[in-house]
Amino acid sequence: MKINLNMKTFFIETWGCQMNRHDSELIEGQLRRHGLAPAGAARDADLVVLNTCSVREKPVQKIISRIGYLAKQNPLTTIGVCGCVAEQEAGSLLERSRSVGFVIGPGQTTRIGEAVRAVSQGERPILTGFDAEAEYNYHTIFRKSTTRGMVTVIEGCNEFCTFCIVPYTRGREVSRPLDQVLAEVRLLASDGVKEVELLGQTINAYRCPDSGADLAQLLEKVASVDGLLRVRFITSHPRHFDQDLIDVLASHRNVFRYLHLPIQSGSDEILKRMHRKYTRQEYLDLVGRIRKAAPEINLSTDIIVGFPGETEADFEDTMELLEEVRFGQVFAFGFSPRPKTPAARYRPQISDAVKSARLQRLFGRCDEISRELNHALVGRSIQVLIDGPSRRDPEHWQGRGEDNRVVNFPRCGREEIGDVVEVEIRRAGAHSLVGMIVGGAVRLPTVSNG
C-alpha cells in the first residue's frame, strides 16, 4: 500500500479529555503553520490525525479498527497517531498498518510539523518520551471557539493511582511559568474570549518553576485579568486542595461555581488500594469546607465501579457517599485494566455482570439526585453564556450557567454567541435546564476584575 507523501489537507479526530481536545488545537495550529489546510471530512483528507486516549475501555483495539476503516475508505490517506495510545504502543502501530505514517506521544505534540516533513521524505517517524525543555508556543495554537479558551498550566502527573496509565503516557508533572500562563490568558482576554479554562491532570499540584507560586496564587492573578468573565480549572486532586485555593474560589465571583473533584470510590479500603492518598472522611471534610465558603457550588466527580476486590459493602460505601455529597454530575466507569498499572494484576477482578449491575444502580441514583438539584433551580434566573445553537432545535440557544449547568432557551433576536443573557429556568431534567430570556443580552467587552 502506498500512502500520500505530499500532504496538503488534514482532518483531526479527538478522543478523551479536555487535555486531548486542547492538544488537538495545538496540532491544528502546527499543521496550518506547515501549510496544510483543513478538510471537511476524514475521507477527503491527505492526512488524518487520530489524537487518542487510553484511559477508557479497549483503546488500542478501537484505534486499530479506526485505522483499518480509514485506510479502506481512502487507501492514499496518511494516518498520524498522536496522544496516549501513541505513547503506549509506539512502533507497534507502524507494524500493524502501512497507512500509519507517524506516531507522536503527548510530550512531543509540538513536533508534528517535523513529522509531516519526514513523511514527505519517505520516513515513518516515532516521536515519544518527554522533554521538559520542549518549546511551547501558545501563539501557534488554533482555537476554534472565540468564547472559551483552554490554557495548559501543568502537564503530566506524579500521583500513580494504581489504575491509571496517565503518568506513563503523559509523564511526570511539569508546570509552566506563571508569567507565561498569565501572558496567554491576557492575550485570550484581549481577543474577546470570555471564559478561560485552566488545564492540568492534577492542576492543584501546580508550582511555578520560577517563583514557586501555587495554583491559588496563579488563580488569583488570572481571575484579576480585565475582560475575563469566567475562569475555571480542571482537574483537582482532593489531596492538593488547600484552604488558600478555597479562599480564592470564594473571593472571586468570576471563578466558576463548578468544581470537578474525583473521589473514585467511597470505600477507604478501595481508596487505599487505588493509592489515592486521602480517606473518605478527608474528602467529605474538604467538600464541607468548599461548600461553607461557596454554598452555591456545583460539584462533579469520577467514580470507578468494580475496582479489583470491591465488595458489596465497598460499593454501598460509594452509594452512601452519593447521598452525603449530592453531586450535580457523576462520570462513572466500570474498572478496566490498563497495561503497566498495578491494578491490572490485582485480584480478585470483578465480573462484567457485577460491574454493569452496580453501574446501572449508581447511574440511576445519580440521575435522580441531579434531577432533584436541577428542579430546585426552577423559577430562578441565572446568567448564561451562549455557546451556540441547541443541538436539538436551531431556533434555541444552548449555553452554560456559572455552575456549568447546560441551559437551552428560545432565541430572542438580538443576542449572539458569546453574549451573556439572564435566563429564567422553567423546566429541569437530569442533565439540562430549559428557560426563557428575561433580560437583554449583556456584552461585557471591558470587565474590570482588578
**Nearer to ligand SF4 by C-beta: 108 or 202?**
202
Closest approach, Cβ 276 to ligand SF4, in A, equals: 7
**Nearer to ligand SF4 by C-beta: 142 or 346?**
346
Which of 10, 23, 14 is CA-nearest to residue 143?
23
Closest approach, Cβ 323 to ligand SF4, in A, equals: 24
Could you tell me the CA-to-CA distances from 393 to 396, 411, 434 in Å, in that order?
6, 10, 12
Closest approach, Cβ 349 to ligand SF4, in A, equals: 19
What SS3 state is found at 44?
helix
**Nearer to ligand SF4 by C-beta: 53 or 86?**
53
Can you tell me the distance from the alpha carbon of 228 to that of 66, in angstroms, rounded to the nearest whole number?
40
Q: Return the sign of the alpha-carbon dihedral for residues 269, 272, 276, 281.
A: positive
Where along the sequence are the contacts to ligand SF4 (CB under 6 A)? 157, 159-161, 164, 166-167, 201-202, 237
Kindly list the strands in the beta sheet with 329-334, ordered across the sheet, starting from the edge strand earlier in the chain: 258-260, 298-305, 329-334
**Nearer to ligand SF4 by C-beta: 85 or 373?**
85
**Nearer to ligand SF4 by C-beta: 16 or 227?**
16
Closest approach, Cβ 237 to ligand SF4, in A, equals: 5
**Nearer to ligand SF4 by C-beta: 10 or 163?**
163
**Nearer to ligand SF4 by C-beta: 152 or 202?**
202
Q: What share of the chain is helix, strand, coil (3-state, %, to 5)?
A: 35, 25, 40
DSSP state of 442: B
**Nearer to ligand SF4 by C-beta: 115 or 343?**
343
Q: Would strands 78-83 and 100-104 be described as parallel, antiparallel, or unpaired? A: parallel
CB crowding 305-335: b at 16 or more within 10 Å, else e: bbbbbbeeebbebbeebbeebebbbbebbbb
Closest approach, Cβ 264 to ligand SF4, in A, equals: 7
Closest approach, Cβ 387 to ligand SF4, in A, equals: 27
Closest approach, Cβ 329 to ligand SF4, in A, equals: 18
Closest approach, Cβ 251 to ligand SF4, in A, equals: 27
Closest approach, Cβ 422 to ligand SF4, in A, equals: 37
Q: Classify residue 366 as exposed, middle or buried by CB count within 10 Å of its CB (0-12, 13-18, 19+).
A: buried
**Is-cis flag, bond preceding 348, omega within 30?**
yes
Closest approach, Cβ 151 to ligand SF4, in A, equals: 18
**Is-cis flag, bond preceding 235, omega within 30?**
yes
- In the block, cell 509531516 appears at 116
Can you tell me the distance from the alpha carbon of 252 to that of 450, in angstroms, rounded to the nearest whole number?
10
**Nearer to ligand SF4 by C-beta: 101 or 167?**
167
Would you tell me the crossing angle of helices 18-33 and 112-120 to the nearest 10 degrees?
50
Can you tell me the distance from the alpha carbon of 278 to that of 128, in angstroms, rounded to the nearest whole number?
33
**Nearer to ligand SF4 by C-beta: 330 or 369?**
330
**Nearer to ligand SF4 by C-beta: 79 or 299?**
299
DSSP 270-291: HHHHHT----HHHHHHHHHHHH
37, three cell numbers: 489546510
Which of 92, 93, 54 is CA-nearest to residue 336?
54
Closest approach, Cβ 201 to ligand SF4, in A, equals: 4
